[in-house]
DNA sequence: GATGGGCAAGTTTTT
DNA sequence: CTTGCCCATC
């Protein structure tokens, strides 16, 4: 990342650019001769960078004028298009690096783009000061115009933790029962308002009323007021305030509209409303920019962040929003083998409301994705371990193997298994470096020194390490600070001059405030990482961990060292702090080959030779809560998640479902995910769990395998196939949803509308039209639940009212007629 | 002012 | 079955 404080030349009006047909005009600016020469060299190399593209990619790169939407399926060279497009813009002298706005969602994506542009465009692409995340770019803009939105340029960025602590204070101050109305819930609500671009005055009355007996909007307002007093912004504010800045200050907006001659957006399907508004404002033509030169790249089939405000609709609506848009589809896949792609494509075809793409490859068919049924999650971990060992023997690098789970609790079983096996692994997406307590404490110290108004930081470390400043004392300081309307540190200092405090806390507090005063002067004339070191030592913070005899203490000290070390890479304390709050991530790399374990969400954008996809069971995947809360839309998002999972695999995709899984400590019988039913038989192989004898489990384990095989090859299944050909499928989604509503394992959500699940030829398991060996009213016996009466038949799934166990949905093969 | 027990809740997560 | 948070007690 470039120095966030380097505003490049943005303070001056953007220089008039030559028109495109005057491209060779000499521009005495930014690197002068050198960069001009470079531009020509790059242009000369143009044959290269365009030549390596396929026709669609090339079209996406060369459509330079006006809005462009690139629908880039998984593994079709999306990043290549984006980076080449930037290189092309530079090489053809359409814009200079600082006139291109390129937005990503994650810092990782931003970093990767920078690296690749550097390779493609050389020095001409250096800097790219406006390549970054929505948040980092907004921050940069806000710092320059902070006073226009009621902040100072040095404002602090609060993370979720600070946000919730502040929210708690607000809730408490309003005398609201924290139990009934948890701060976390309010924080989430406010976040979602901010995601939708709603400031306190615009919150819909109904939603505002839903929290704390109608106090929702009021609390939001109070929270925002507190943020301003603290000279702070939370993540949501960065975007919301930027949009407000643009709306209320047309002159400022114009400045940026003119500057950003070309705009690129990555992962457009993940944009939420406020990001969309932000983008719309900046993309407006203005000054020398005649049209909306905006290029959005995304894949509606990989939209998996609806639950945090992403609006798939943004991408679906693109052509309406940006009239005259050129739409380019990238469907040629360079990642996966044929069977894998076919399976993924078939699965995702069950979604409605897609823009519609079909991935294809010129490569080999390769291995078919496999589906394996196992008895329980323990066996699941065991066979995955065994298969990885086998692959390893065949020379597969562990770095090329990943386990992608739906929910993080699934990871534990794999970790435990791998520890016993001595199989090296890494968990991706665990607690981040800067979220660790010791790092946050250390940062709080630094924030107090550089930002005297940062009360949250002060409260955090006032009594860390323990120095005898308890709630009572801090309460006093806080009250004093509020009444005087001054920061707490200052209030503390002043209180020490009075005799309102008891002698002991008074002395402690005085020591602390004078220490802070001393450290503040230190910042002026000492390298910042040395200051940090000094503060951590003098405050007794390092000591605290050294005395700590718990297992983690050593690691924490190590982290603190790493923190100080990493500071050296930054020019000053302020830029360091900014990076920590916005940019810093802690991908623990290196240390030899490892299997990666992560959630499906975390896997987006990555690829592996071999991918294991465990836990494909109803309730877990698709996740029950998604179905409950978002109905059909939720189901479709889950399906996209499945699609993302399969398309991560280059050569091997191994899907697994367990018949029993422990959820909240209780063993539950599960049934295979409906997504399994939606895989195409021609491209998927159903395999038996390897490893032979599993003792007492065997019978049941085979019961589950039987089911699987039988739904595939039994007369019943074949009849169903036949019938499907003869008559159109009956029972739309609403009907099945109604039926499901009676089962205890899934309920139809409110959002259910429209047509039914598509029935597509040649799927693994027949749907509602399948013929079951049982009919309504039949008495059956189940190994686990005992006797019961069939109340509903849906293909090979039965809903049974058990005499003892109540109503359950089970697979037909699990019961016997009695 | 610390420390332990009791109780509720329990997808996905970036910035 | 955990984990994390809150409260009550020493």
By the 8 A CB rule, do A135 and A239 touch? yes
Q: What is the pLDDT of residues A467-520, one digit of tens each?
A: 888 778 888 888 888 888 898 889 988 888 888 888 888 888 888 899 999 998
Dist CA A478 CA A483 (whole Å): 9
Tell me the two tokens of residue A432.
């981040």
By the 8 A CB rule, do A672 and A380 touch? no
Question: Coil, strand or helix: which one is A103?
Answer: strand
C-alpha to C-alpha distances, A662 to A378, A430, A815, nearest whole angstrom: 10, 22, 22
- Judge residue A482's burial from the number of C-beta atoms within 10 Å of its C-beta, 0-12 exposed, 13-18 middle, 19 or more buried: middle
Q: What is the pLDDT of residues A656-696, one digit of tens each?
A: 999 999 888 888 889 999 999 999 999 999 987 654 333 22
Q: What is the pLDDT of residues A82-111, one digit of tens each?
A: 999 999 999 999 999 999 999 999 888 898
- Judge residue A719's burial from the number of C-beta atoms within 10 Å of its C-beta, 0-12 exposed, 13-18 middle, 19 or more buried: middle
Q: What is the pLDDT of residues A622-633, one digit of tens each?
A: 999 898 888 889
Q: Residue A739 above 80 pLDDT?
A: no
Q: What is the pLDDT of residues A536-591, one digit of tens each?
A: 999 888 888 888 777 777 778 888 888 888 888 888 888 888 887 776 665 555 67
By the 8 A CB rule, do A212 and A181 touch? yes
**Residue A57 — pLDDT band, cuts 50, 70, 90?**
very high
DSSP letter assigned to residue A308: G
Q: What is the pLDDT of residues A760-817, one digit of tens each?
A: 445 554 333 345 677 788 888 776 667 888 877 766 667 777 776 666 666 676 677 7
Residue of A266, A311, A376, A459 with catalytic role:
A266
A79 is catalytic: yes
A648 is catalytic: yes
Residue A388 CA, nucleotide C10 C1', distance (Å): 54
Tell me the two tokens of residue A280.
């719309």
DSSP letter assigned to residue A40: H
A267 is catalytic: yes
A275 is catalytic: no
The phi-psi region of residue A782 (left if phi > 0; otherwise alpha if psi is between -120 and 50; otherwise beta) is: beta
pLDDT at A205: 84
DSSP A365-389: --PPPEEEEEEEHHHHHHHHHHHHH
Residues contacting A40, CB < 8 A, separation 6+: none
C-alpha to C-alpha distances, A532 to A364, A514, A537, A556, nearest whole angstrom: 56, 16, 9, 16
H or E element, residue A195: helix A183-195
Please name which of A236, A294, A265, A260 lies closest in space to residue A109, comparing C-alpha atoms: A265
Report the relative pairing of strands A649-663 and A370-376 from DSSP bridges: parallel
pLDDT at A750: 29
Q: Which positions of chain C lie under 7 Å from any protein Cβ? A: 1-2, 6-7
Tell me the two tokens of residue A131.
């390549």
C-alpha to C-alpha distances, A34 to A26, A40, A41, A258, A797, nearest whole angstrom: 12, 10, 11, 25, 71
Tell me the two tokens of residue A626.
């998604």
pLDDT at A643: 96
Dist CA A686 CA A290 (whole Å): 57
By the 8 A CB rule, do A74 and A335 touch? yes
pLDDT at A589: 59
C-alpha to C-alpha distances, A510 to A540, A578, A609, nearest whole angstrom: 16, 29, 61
**Residue A26 — pLDDT band, cuts 50, 70, 90?**
very low
Tell me the two tokens of residue A496.
């020490």
Mean local confidence (pLDDT), A104-121:
89
Residue A597 CA, nucleotide B4 C1', distance (Å): 35
A302 is catalytic: yes
Residue of A267, A299, A387, A617 with catalytic role:
A267
Dist CA A717 CA A722 (whole Å): 9
Residue closest to B8 C1′ by Cα: A179
Dist CA A590 CA A598 (whole Å): 17
**Residue A338 — pLDDT band, cuts 50, 70, 90?**
very high
Q: What is the pLDDT of residues A300-328, one digit of tens each?
A: 999 999 988 898 889 988 999 999 999 99
Residues with CB under 7 A from strand C: A 168, 178-179, 662, 664-665
Report the relative pairing of strands A156-158 and A232-234 from DSSP bridges: parallel
CB atoms < 10 A from the CB of A24, how many?
11
Q: Residue A33 above 50 pLDDT?
A: no
**How far is residue A240 CA from its own chain's centroid?**
19
pTM of the model: 0.77
Residue of A648, A651, A654, A797 with catalytic role:
A648
Q: What is the pLDDT of residues A158-210, one digit of tens each?
A: 888 888 888 888 888 887 777 778 888 888 889 989 999 999 999 888 888 77
Tell me the two tokens of residue A715.
């007369």
Residues with CB under 7 A from strand B: A 105-108, 133, 135-136, 159-160, 235-236, 307-308, 406-409, 429, 432, 463, 466, 468-473, 505, 582, 585, 598-599, 601-602, 623, 625-626, 629, 664-665
CB atoms < 10 A from the CB of A693, how many?
7
Dist CA A330 CA A359 (whole Å): 8
A688 is catalytic: no
Scanning every strand, the nucleotide with its C1' closest to A106's CA turns out to be B14
Q: Residue with structure tokens 């166990």?
A: A805
Mean local confidence (pLDDT), A619-648:
92
Q: Residue with structure tokens 């003892």?
A: A804
- Find residue A594's DSSP bridge partners: none
- Judge residue A284's burial from the number of C-beta atoms within 10 Å of its C-beta, 0-12 exposed, 13-18 middle, 19 or more buried: middle
**Residue A707 — pLDDT band, cuts 50, 70, 90?**
very low
H or E element, residue A241: helix A235-248
Q: Residue A228 above 80 pLDDT?
A: yes
């Amino acid at each position: 990342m470039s120095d966030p404080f380097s505003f490049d030349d943005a303070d001056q009006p953007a220089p008039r650019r030559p028109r495109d047909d005057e491209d060779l005009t000499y521009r005495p600016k930014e690197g002068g001769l050198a960069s001009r020469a470079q531009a020509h060299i790059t242009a000369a190399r143009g044959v290269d960078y365009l030549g390596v593209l396929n026709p669609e990619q090339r079209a996406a790169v060369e459509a330079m004028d006006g809005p462009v939407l690139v629908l880039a399926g998984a593994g079709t060279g999306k990043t290549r298009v984006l980076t080449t497009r930037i290189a092309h813009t530079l090489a053809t002298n359409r814009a200079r690096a600082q006139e291109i706005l390129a937005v990503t969602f994650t810092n990782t994506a931003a970093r990767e783009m920078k690296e690749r542009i550097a390779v493609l465009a050389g020095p001409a692409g250096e800097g790219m000061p406006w390549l970054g995340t929505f948040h980092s770019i907004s921050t940069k803009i806000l710092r320059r115009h902070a006073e226009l939105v009621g902040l100072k340029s040095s404002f602090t960025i609060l993370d979720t933790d600070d946000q919730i602590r502040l929210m708690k204070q607000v809730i408490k101050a309003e005398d609201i029962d924290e139990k009934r109305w948890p701060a976390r819930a309010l924080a989430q609500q406010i976040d979602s308002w901010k995601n939708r671009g709603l400031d306190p005055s615009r919150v819909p009355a109904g939603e505002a009323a839903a929290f704390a007996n109608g106090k929702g909007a009021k609390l939001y307002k109070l929270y925002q007021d507190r943020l301003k007093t603290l000279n702070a912004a939370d993540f949501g504010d960065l975007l919301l305030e930027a949009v407000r800045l643009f709306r209320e200050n047309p002159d400022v907006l114009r400045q940026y509209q003119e500057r950003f001659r070309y705009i690129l957006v990555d992962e457009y399907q993940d944009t939420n409303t406020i990001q969309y508004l932000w983008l719309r404002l900046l993309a407006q033509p203005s000054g020398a920019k005649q049209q909306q030169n905006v290029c959005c790249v995304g894949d509606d089939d990989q939209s998996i962040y609806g639950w945090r405000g992403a609006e798939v609709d943004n991408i679906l609506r693109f052509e309406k929003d940006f009239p005259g848009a050129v739409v380019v589809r990238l469907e040629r896949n360079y990642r996966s083998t044929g069977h894998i792609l076919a399976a993924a494509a078939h699965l995702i075809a069950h979604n409605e409301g897609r823009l519609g793409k079909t991935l294809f490859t010129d490569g080999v068919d390769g291995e078919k994705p496999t589906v394996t049924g196992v008895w329980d999650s323990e066996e699941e971990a065991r066979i995955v371990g065994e298969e990885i060992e086998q692959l390893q023997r065949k020379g597969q690098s562990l770095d090329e193997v990943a386990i992608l789970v739906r929910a993080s609790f699934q990871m534990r079983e794999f970790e435990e298994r791998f520890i016993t096996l001595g199989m090296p692994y890494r968990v991706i997406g665990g607690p981040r470096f800067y979220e660790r307590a010791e790092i946050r404490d250390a940062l709080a110290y630094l924030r107090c020194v550089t930002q005297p108004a940062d009360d949250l930081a002060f409260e955090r470390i006032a009594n860390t390490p323990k120095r005898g400043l308890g709630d009572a004392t801090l309460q006093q300081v806080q009250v004093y600070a509020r009444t005087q309307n001054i920061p707490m540190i200052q209030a503390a200092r002043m209180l020490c001059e009075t005799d309102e405090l008891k002698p002991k806390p008074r002395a402690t507090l005085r020591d602390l405030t004078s220490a802070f005063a001393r450290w503040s002067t230190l910042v002026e004339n000492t390298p910042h990482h040395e200051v940090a070191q000094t503060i951590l030592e003098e405050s007794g913070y390092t000591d605290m961990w050294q005395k700590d005899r718990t297992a983690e203490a050593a690691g924490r000290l190590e982290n603190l060292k790493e923190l100080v070390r990493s500071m050296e890479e930054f020019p000053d304390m302020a830029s360091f702090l900014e990076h920590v709050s916005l940019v810093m991530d802690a991908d623990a790399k290196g240390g030899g080959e490892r299997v990666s374990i992560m959630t499906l969400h975390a896997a987006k954008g990555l690829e592996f030779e071999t991918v294991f996809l465990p836990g494909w069971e109803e309730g877990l995947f698709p996740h029950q809560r998604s179905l409950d809360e978002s109905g059909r839309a939720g189901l479709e998002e889950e399906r996209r998640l499945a699609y993302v999972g399969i398309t991560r695999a280059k050569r091997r995709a191994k899907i697994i479902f367990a018949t029993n899984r422990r959820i909240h400590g209780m063993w539950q019988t599960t049934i295979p995910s409906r997504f399994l039913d939606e895989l195409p038989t021609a491209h998927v192989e159903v395999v038996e769990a390897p490893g032979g004898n599993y003792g007492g489990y065997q019978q049941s384990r085979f019961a589950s395998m039987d089911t699987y095989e039988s739904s595939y090859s039994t007369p019943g299944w074949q009849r169903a196939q036949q019938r499907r050909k003869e008559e159109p499928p009956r029972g739309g989604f609403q009907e099945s949803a109604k039926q499901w509503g009676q089962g205890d394992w899934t309920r139809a959500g409110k959002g259910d509308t429209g047509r039914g699940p598509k029935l597509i030829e040649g799927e693994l398991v027949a749907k509602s039209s399948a013929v079951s060996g049982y009919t309504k009213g039949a008495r059956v016996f189940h190994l686990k639940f005992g006797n019961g009466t069939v109340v509903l038949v849906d293909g090979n799934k039965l809903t049974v009212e058990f005499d003892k166990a109540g109503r359950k949905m089970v697979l037909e093969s699990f019961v016997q007629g009695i």
